[in-house]
Amino acid sequence: MKNKSITHFYRVDQPHMVGDGFRVKGYLPGPHNLQQEASPFYLLDYNSAHYFQSTESPRGVGVHPHKGFETVTIVFEGELAHADSTGSSGTIGKDEVQWMTAGSGVLHKEFQTPEFSKEGGVQHMLQLWVNLPAKHKHHTPRYQTLTRENIPVVQLDEKGSMVRVIGGEFMGIKGAAETLSPLSLLDIQLVPGSATVIPVPAGWNSLLLQVDGQASIQDSRPMVEGDMAVMGNEEGQIHIATSENVARFILMMGQPLNEPIVAYGPFLMNTQQEIVDAIQEFQNGTFGYLE
């Protein structure tokens, strides 16, 4: 199998704040208008490692609506508390994931935990928006907590390299999250002097974000933390190798939805009328109540 082509290779160095608790760099929709090449993934905010001073008032984002997509938050360092208008709530820490399906509409808030806030510390995480197919835009909202214990691990070699299967499937192992369209979300961790090959189905989009260390992909292209490669959707493989450093990647692979996208703030729908409806539902209290 041939190595897949790289259609875009870039990094984002200018951060911005989301609320007062997330210092992120916006990779998607991104500088190249990648809606088609990234589908079903729509937004990617990467919070590279950043130290937050201690505070008595937890930082974060207050109550806000979502509709028509899923949010996937992966924590590499730090702690995050979540609550939504369905009554779901939880806390995730290092190497854990929250997968929230907004579907027909939900109110949501997320903050650094009180314990993390009082101590201060390094926060390192990302949030991904997964667009929902039209047939699932009105799916009942739900929340999946993916802890370190329930994310399956595939060992790649005897040195300690591994892949954590967050969603989808890898080497016959089903991921922890239940997904609503064909996709795989993999957390790839390689020790020094290791290499791996990840096959990607023909027609699927794939994006590779490096979140730690140094490596090379497709036999020659060097990558460091903060680099992202967007692959062509021909059938092929992604080859990753390390030399003297560890490396960690999030690999997003999915079958493109090939449906119209109309986005407005926290709403991601297929038509302008659906956006108008979503705004009215939010204003009328249809999404429920959350303090």
Q: What is residue 182's predicted lDDT score, i.e. its pLDDT?
A: 98
pLDDT in tens, 129-150: 999 999 999 999 999 999 999 9
Range of the domain at 47: 6-283
Q: Please provide the average confidence, as pLDDT, over all residues in the chain.
A: 96
pTM of the predicted structure, to 2 decimals: 0.97
In one letter, which amino acid is 284? N
pLDDT at 133: 98
Distance of CA 78 to the CA centre of its chain: 16
- What is the count of structural domains for the chain? 1
What is the rounded average pLDDT of the residues 67-72?
98
56 neighbors 43 (Cβ within 8 angstroms): no
Q: Report the CATH number that the domain containing residue 118 is assigned in CATH.
A: 2.60.120.10
Cα→Cα distances 166→113, 114, 144, Å: 23, 27, 11
Which amino acid is residue 75, in one-letter code? V
Residue 234 pLDDT: 93
How far is Cα 88 from Cα 124, in angstroms, rounded to an integer? 24
Q: What whole-number distance in Å separates Cα of residue 152 and Cα of residue 166?
A: 7
What does the pLDDT look like over 77-87, one tens digit per residue?
Answer: 999 999 999 99
The answer as to whether 27 is a domain residue is: yes
- The pLDDT assigned to 89 comes to 93
Q: pLDDT-derived band of residue 32, with 50, 70 and 90 as boundaries? A: confident
If we measure between CA atoms, which residue out of 71, 199, 216, 82 comes closest to residue 130? 71
288 domain-assigned: no
Q: Is 85 helix (H, G, I), strand (E, B) or coil?
A: coil
